[in-house]
Amino acid sequence: MRGLRIVLLLLLVLLAWLQYRLWFGSGGQREVQVLQRRVQQQARDNAGLQQRNDALAAEVDDLKSGEAAVEERARNELGMIKPGETFYRVVEPQPEAADPPPPAEPAQ
């Protein structure tokens, strides 16, 4: 009977030790949750970077394949025009300042 109690006590101690390691020890539940959050954040970052890479790859393909993209860039970024074209710049009128206040009457 006494031997059974000792075995039961040892099993309870072993169970408590295993539970402690599961929840608080190295590689435990907390660490797994932290790592899962880091993996999710990295996956979001990777998705954003993949979109950026895809956009850049499409732009490179467009620049390699056609003159239209090169022409558009030259016009927008460098202000270039084709021979025989006339360049017009439209300038929006600036809003006039509010009417100045009437001059103060001199004190008598």
Q: 71 pLDDT exceeds 90?
A: no
pLDDT of 33-60, one tens digit each?
899 999 999 999 999 999 999 999 988 8
Q: Work out the percent of the chain whose per-residue pLDDT is above 70.
A: 91
The predicted pLDDT at position 99 comes to 64
Which of 20, 36, 17, 40 lies closest to 28 in space, CA to CA?
A: 20
Domain boundaries, the chain: 29-91
The predicted pLDDT at position 76 comes to 82
Please give the model's pTM, rounded to 2 decimal places.
0.44
Mean pLDDT of 68-84: 83
